Structure 1
Amino acid sequence: MNTIEEEVPLGRRRRRRYSVEFKAQVVAACQGPGVSLAAIALHHQLNANLLRRWVEQAEGNERFLVARSEVSVPSAATPAFVSLPLETRNARTGEIRVEVRRADQSITVSWPTSEAAQCAAWLREWLA
């Protein structure tokens, strides 16, 4: 997809100009939750500061928003919640287990859950 409206002659560099449709498409890609503007800019070979300016203009400029609504951009599917089963071995036994491994050596310390505060104090002291 050619995003530059005019061809650049060899030699001296000229300022690139982007179509309103291209800007709207890129800004729409930035609207999802948790989207990195820097990643979108890299993907489209844009400067992140330029893209941020486009996003700010889109938020305050009605003309830009109208052009954006005319462009059909597939929305990224929101990932569904994935439930993972947790291992509850220690909950059944009623103990806190701390296992430390270093190279080929291992040490395991067990504490009753009723003494969790003392276990936390011991860990803080031990790790200090």
Structure 2
Amino acid sequence: MASNEVGISGRLRVVRVLSNGKRRYDPVDKDRLIDAALEPGVSIAGLALAHGINANQLQNWIRLRQRRQGSEKASAVAPNIAASAFVEVVEAAAVVCPPEPPSLPSQQKSARIRLKASLPNGVRLELEGADMQALSAMIAALGAL
């Protein structure tokens, strides 16, 4: 592909040279060069050579753009999804317990539940007959892992 097809003639325009010798290129020309490199059948090495940059540098610019575009697509689909400390609950069902003998009024009855979960490392957890307090403690302990 000829350099005039890219819209850039010759070398990329350097807009700034840092004290460590690194160059900053014109972002518009850089984007055009990356667009040209992404065209089918284009030699990235040949294109980089024609514009006075290292082929590895051009390849890094292409990767950076593709990552940026991938993260923009992901954030557009799910903008505020963060990794959760909780594990997915596979099955939760109420357990029917036989009636207990009458107790003192100070004792409070609570619902008993059964919990089954599969952890990402393959461990399976089953908790049966626990009250809400025990379940909360279990979830807090798993969240701390």
> What's the TM-score once normalised by structure 1's chain length?
0.40
Return the structure number with greater helix share: 1
